[in-house]
Chains A and B, each alone.
Chain A
Amino acid sequence: MSAIPSSSSATGGRLPGFVEVDNTAETPGRRATLVSHMDRFNQVTRQVCQVAESKRPPFAWYAAFAVSLSLVGLLGFCVTYLFFAGVGVWGLNNPVMWAFDITNFVFWVGIGHAGTLISAILFLFRQKWRTGINRFAEAMTIFAVICAGLFPGIHVGRVWLAYWLFPIPNQMDMWPQFRSPLLWDVFAVGTYFTVSLLFWYVGLIPDLATLRDRAKGTIQQFAYGLFSLGWRGSNRHWHRYERAYLLLAALSTPLVLSVHSVVSFDFAVSQLPGWHTTIFPPYFVAGAIFSGFAMVVTLAVPARQLFGLKDMITLRHLDNMNKIILVTGCMVGYAYSMEFFIAWYSGALYEKFAFVNRAFGQYWWAYWIMVSCNVITPQLFWFKAIRTSIPLMFILSLVVNIGMWFERFVIIVSSLANDFIPTSWDFFTPTWVDMSTMLGSFGLFGTLFLLFCRYLPMVAIAEIKATMPQANPHWEGWHAPTSHGGAGSAQAAHASPSATHAPDAS
């Protein structure tokens, strides 16, 4: 399909005879292997770099890129139309002043959360399986936050005044109002984007250096060389690098919890029935992680297939992610039922009505789509056979993505459409601009993600190597009985140490 040397044993998923290693079983006292079919460091290098180094990506990449890019065109058209005509081109009406715009904003910010969870929280918990998926989950975070940031930017009405969001000295001596959750949001999302970008970039530096050192073309050498900052793998550098990485993880952990909490404050701090609840911050964070992991699965399944990364994104990684989807799905289900309970228990007339109306009012269908996608369907992940079935997990991850989009829609629109006074009620119907802008944001996300897959290392090469047993200087293979001291141990390196060799591995 592309210019990959056929002699390479490290093309993994492209080989028709690829054997998926089941490393999901738990053996007490032994760590499961996180990398299959590989026992040498340069196999990892080759397998990850072959995507960026191949002359042409697979056909499916072109197809997906064409679709995504045309959706970006659609997005550009819709946004331009919006700027010229005003927010009236959306289906907004008097009580429903937030609908698809803010739904998409909250949806995309939520998607981003899995990336930071994987890169930061799982790092602090020493979950080594994160190394297989952290790079593209972090990339996904950044692209999702870009999509998210678009919506508040364009929904302000007079976009040429969007700079009012920032404390910039101006001719009117006017400042933002810092007691408003909407302003907290600007700082939370801005910080989140910056820190996620830093985290991603710091992780990329050693891998960009790997690509630089392998690059044949002048443009590649220059570009990878520039962005790898002259990294040369010095251990004195690694020492500070690892410290900085740990600090970033420690900083991102409270940050990721704060971002969706602040997003939920946009609603919870208001007094609208259905929004004014204290459960919102933890509930939003759980939902964000839930939807984010679903998106990671949605992207990981085709990516590992298409780019031959099955040896590094193994069944165990997918199984673990599905377990997290199950747990967070249950948390979200708990939050749904607790909202109902508190609405009843509070005795507040409007609260009680808001929740009954959510399930049986004019948006009943959206509510039940949400419940069936987010609470009922993920229960299938209790079964290991479903957790480890590639097609089923792909479908379920799509279902969860749909469900989480509807969750935000239900919270935002059903609460706004039917507030305190029946005379002010209305019904929101999306227009074609609403629909196209939403589709366009998916196109933007897809375009950025596909470009990332093509030109950057999709898996953290240096981190994967560090999780291999061979990376440990005290690994028994380096101290084989025949070799004492440094000289003889290289032979031991090439004596196959793992029992996971597939028949086709040389």
Chain B
Amino acid sequence: MTTTHASTPPATRRRVHGLLAEFHDPASLMHAAEKVRDAGYRWWDCHTPFAVHGLDQAMGVQRTILPILVFGAGLTGTSIGFILQAFTNSSSLSLWALVWVTGYPFLISGKPLLSLPAFIPVIFELTVLLSALGAVGLMLLLNGLPWLSHPLLANKRFLRATDDRFFIVIESRDPRFFRSRTEEFLKSLGAKVVEAVEA
């Protein structure tokens, strides 16, 4: 409902996504991140134009389980590679895979029906293929991407997060979040600017 009064809405009506604190260099961001971590906040994040080394420890980010999942994806590829070749080239089984399919026992250049050495290249390629697809797909999934309508992306100041500015965002859903107190806290960390991000 846009009316003429809408230009000055009461601040309390707008929901706040969180508080955005701007820093100009990775060093001050890192010091601030350590203090935010020690203050016990949980729903907060740093936003940087590149991966800042050591920031994971400063924030207390736990190691991702991504490699274990990717290992699983790789094993799936290995199995698919083996089963695909053993079924289609070494068996005469019929089975249902969306349609009925039947294997054909190829006899080629006197090789045994189940000639594993000749199957290795395809098994290897499928292992790599599924691991790579898994690494990228699961990384995006764990990161919650794509997310094109995130509140931060609507913030003008935040545009420089992909250029040369460093941000800490403490979200309002954090149990320790109190707008005025958290704002004071972020300012005490040496933030250049602290402002609210609308939800």
Contact = CB atoms under 8 A, between A and B. Distances in A.
Interface string B36-68: 000000000111111111111001010010110
Interface in A456-472: 461-463, 465-466, 470-472
Most buried by A among B98, B119, B145: B145
A473 B27 contact: yes
Contact of B104 (A173, A195, A235, A252): A173
B51 A485 contact: no
Given A184-B121, A232-B150, A240-B66, A486 B28 contact: yes
Interface in A83-107: none
A425 interface: no
B56 A239 contact: yes
B66 A244 contact: yes
Given A179-B108, A187-B126, A42 B26 contact: no
A225 interface: yes
A158 interface: no
Residue picked from A167, A214, A479, most chain B C-beta under 10 Å:
A167
Nearest to B23: A486
A209 B125 CA distance: 32
Contacts of A173: 101-102, 104
Contacts of B99: 169
B153 A230 contact: yes
Contacts of B61: 235-236, 239
A466 B66 contact: no
Given A240-B66, A470-B25, A490 B192 contact: yes
Contact of A230 (B46, B132, B148): B148
A142 to B, nearest CB: 14
A174 B26 contact: no
Interface in A478-501: 478-479, 485-487, 489-490, 492-493
Query: How large, as a class, is the contact surface on chain A?
Result: 35 or more
B88 A176 contact: yes
A232 B144 CA distance: 11
B121 to A, nearest CB: 4
Contact of A473 (B52, B59, B129): B52
A462 B164 CA distance: 10
A217 to B, nearest CB: 15
Interface stretch (A254-262, A332-340, A398-406): A254-262
Interface in A158-179: 167, 169, 173-179
A48 B153 CA distance: 22
Contacts of B78: none
Interface string B134-152: 0110111011011111101
A486 B31 contact: yes
Given A42-B164, A239-B64, A470-B25, A178 B55 contact: no
B150 A475 contact: no
Contacts of A238: 48, 51-52, 55
Contacts of B51: 235, 238-239, 241-242, 462, 466
B166 to A, nearest CB: 9
B122 A41 contact: no
B93 interface: no
A34 B27 CA distance: 21
Contact of A41 (B149, B164, B191): B164
A240 B139 contact: yes
B27 A486 contact: yes
Interface stretch (B8-16, B155-163, B175-183): B155-163
B64 A240 contact: yes
A229 interface: yes
Interface in A213-230: 213-214, 225-226, 229-230
Contacts of A232: 47, 150, 152-153, 158, 161-162
Interface in A7-34: none
Contacts of A493: 24-25
27 contacts: A175-B89, A177-B108, A178-B118, A178-B122, A179-B115, A180-B108, A188-B121, A191-B128, A202-B136, A213-B161, A229-B140, A229-B146, A229-B148, A232-B158, A233-B49, A235-B59, A236-B143, A243-B139, A244-B138, A255-B128, A265-B121, A471-B50, A473-B55, A474-B27, A489-B27, A490-B28, A492-B25
Given A191-B126, A198-B135, A466-B50, 17 more contacts: A45-B164, A167-B88, A169-B101, A229-B145, A233-B49, A233-B162, A235-B47, A238-B55, A240-B139, A247-B66, A251-B128, A251-B135, A473-B26, A473-B54, A486-B23, A486-B191, A489-B24
Closest 4 CB pairs of A and B: A486-B190, A486-B28, A478-B27, A41-B164
